[in-house]
Amino acid sequence: MNLFRSEAHARRWDGFNPKMAHAIKPIAEWADTFANPFFRERGRADYISWTRSDDGVAAFRALRSSLPLPADD
Amino acid sequence: MTDDGAPLQLLDRGYRAIMRQVVETATAPHFTALAAELAIPVEQARQLSHELVSITPGWMAPETDLFASFPPFNLQPTQYRVSVDGVGGWYAQCGLEATAVRWLFPGKTIRVEAPCLCCGEVMVVEMHDEEIVATEPAEIVGYTSDVIGGSAESRPFR
């Protein structure tokens, strides 16, 4: 999970996987994804308990639904 | 008590202790230090360390009990150098987790500097709470070559 200077740079990377080409996104979009409460709440004293609460489970579900999956062949 | 592991309250205390030290010092505690802080037996602290990195999800240095990654941070250097209000020393686990470091430093400016894996030229991202303050160049993208949250074995390689 890396940063690149542009989409063209990401596509030229040796590790580029065409099945995940749609995962190339502007950093602002990834920053929005990583603003999910699953990440925001890491500073709380009861973080692990929170991840298992209704709010935590809902946040994780929302996060998973927003993550790119490999394209079909 | 969790299904197979440590009691939930102990997981909370352990996570809090580790994260607090990483935020304050950019280092993670050895399990013996964690045992002392949590007032638990050394072996229990060692097992707790492994359980917590499997949850977070991070990873230990292979075949050791030493923290390598505790997201959003990496305890071994990565290409993602992080500074907080001008003070360096932290590394992000990956380029995408680098954008989540800001949530652990409310009110402070987070600067991430990293070379592009394609060309080696430096990129800079600055964040302050909700705001992406600056990106250089403006066209920076994030990319993952595999599913985020995939198998534990692939975590360091995505």
Torsion sign over Cα A65, A28, A72, A18: negative
Domain ranges of chain A: 25-73
Residue where one domain finishes, among candidates B27, B46, B69: B69
Domain match, B85 and B65 both: no
Q: Nearest CB to B12: which of A34, A48, A64?
A: A48
**Contacting residues of A for B118, CB less than 8 Å apart:** 4-5, 9-10, 12-13
Domain match, B47 and B21 both: yes
Instruction: Give burial (CB, 10 Å; 0-12/13-18/19+) of B64.
Output: exposed
Q: Nearest CB to A30: which of B19, B23, B99?
A: B99
Q: What is the ipTM of this complex?
A: 0.93
Q: Is residue B132 part of a domain?
A: yes
Closest CA relative to residue B72, chosen from B91, B54, B59, B85 = B91
Q: Is residue B1 part of a domain?
A: no
pTM value is: 0.92
What is the arithmetic mean of pLDDT over B24-34? 98
Q: Is residue B154 part of a domain?
A: no
Domain match, B42 and B62 both: yes
Number of domain units in chain B: 2
Domain match, B35 and B63 both: yes
Domain match, B40 and B59 both: yes
What is the domain extent for residue B99? 74-136
Residues B96-137: tens digit of each pLDDT: 999 999 999 999 999 999 999 999 999 999 999 999 999 999
Write down the mean pLDDT value for chain B: 93
Q: Is residue B60 part of a domain?
A: yes
